[in-house]
Structure 1
Amino acid sequence: MIQRIQTVYLLLTSIISIVIIFVFNLWKSTDKSIFALDLLNSDVSLLKAIPVLFLISAALAFVAIFLFKNRKLQFVIGRLTILINLILLGLLIYVSLTLPGEAAVSEKGIGMFVPILAVLLLVLANKAIKKDEDLVKSVDRLR
């Protein structure tokens, strides 16, 4: 059952959450681009939480792939990962609105939108998991 469509969605979510944060910047100020891993060196603990949440999201999505025998737990982990990505999105929006030096020219990077794409893929994965669970329940009724 590892070849199901929800596996593709969960794998894409995991890849997006882990790889894209290294490739695309979160925001760009006049002098340099800020990536998620750069925030680990920050003094503010709120900024340190951003890369940690990206990594937790990727790990949970990857673990959910191998829980195909326990669809209910896979569904719950998918919802938990959606919640983590929504928290991450809110945190990124808050940080982007309170960036120091906003009077200078700065632009938001594509990395700010990674949690939105991850939530979309997780919703599709949970929909497919629910569909599988309903199919199994309907077959059990026929027995």
Structure 2
Amino acid sequence: MLQRIQTIYLFIAALLSGVLIFFVSLWSNETGEPVYVDEVLIALGMFLGSALISLITIFLFKNRKLQFVLGRINILLNFFLLGVFVYWSLIVPGEMQISEKGIGMFVPVLSIVFLVLANKAIKKDEDLVKSVDRLR
């Protein structure tokens, strides 16, 4: 059942976390050079982990409960990643390494939106199956 709408949402979230991050910069350093995700290993691991969880979740369409739980874990991972970015950009004293924020710091927010939409559609499917089971 790969033709469901949550598959599209999960695929978009995987593309955002796994592909788009290599093309947009996270921030510019003090010399004005853009810093990409492959230079920050913690962020790279989190982004690729999020993309991998999204891709695994797509193929678990027979187990909607596990699919829903993995979606929530992925949302939490993206919130943690967003928190790391906020910490790096605001709390670091004097902004020694982060002088200008890039669009790459916004990618976890977009990923969270698509993951929430996917979880909403998964929940809707689960409720539909439960309502059909009651009629039997």
| Same fold at TM > 0.5 | yes
Is 1:31 the counterpart of 2:55? The answer is no
CA distance in 1, matches of 2:104, 2:97: 20
Deviation (angstroms), 1:68: 0.3
Paired residue type of 2:35: I
Equivalent residue for 1:114, pick from 107, 110, 114: 107
Mark the CA change 1:101 to 1:139 in structure 2 (over 3 Å): closer, same or farther.
same
Q: Which moved more, 1:82-91 or 1:100-109?
A: 100-109
- Secondary structure class of the residue paired with 1:57: helix
Match of 1:59 among 52, 63, 66: 52
Asked if structure 1 preserves the Cα contact closer than 8 Å seen for 2:88 and 2:98, the reply is no
d(CA) in 1 for partners of 2:61, 2:36: 33
SS at 2:2 equivalent: coil
State the SS of the aligned residue for 1:15: helix
Distance 2:108 2:96 in 1: 27
Deviations 1:26-70 (A, max 9, x none): 001233110110113xxxxxxxx2110001000000100000000
Q: Residue in 2 aligned with 1:17?
A: 17
Q: Following the alignment from structure 2 to structure 1, what is the Cα–Cα distance between the partners of residues 52 and 88?
A: 24
Distance 1:96 1:54 in 2: 18
Give the TM-score normalised by the residue count of structure 1. 0.89
Q: Structure 1 residues 96, 105: closer, same or farther in 2, change over 3 A?
A: closer
SS of match in other structure, 2:95: coil
Aligned pair count?
A: 135
Structure 2 CA distance for aligned equivalents of residues 55 and 74 of structure 1? 18
Q: 3-state DSSP class of the match of 2:40?
A: helix
Q: Measure, in 1, the Cα distance between the counterparts of 2:44 and 2:111.
A: 15
The alignment's TM-score, normalised by the length of structure 2, stands at 0.93
Q: Does 1:94 align with 2:87?
A: yes
Match of 1:75 in 2: 68
Task: Give unmatched runs, 5+ long, in structure 1.
Answer: 41-48
SS at match of 2:32: coil
2:5 is matched with which residue?
Answer: 5
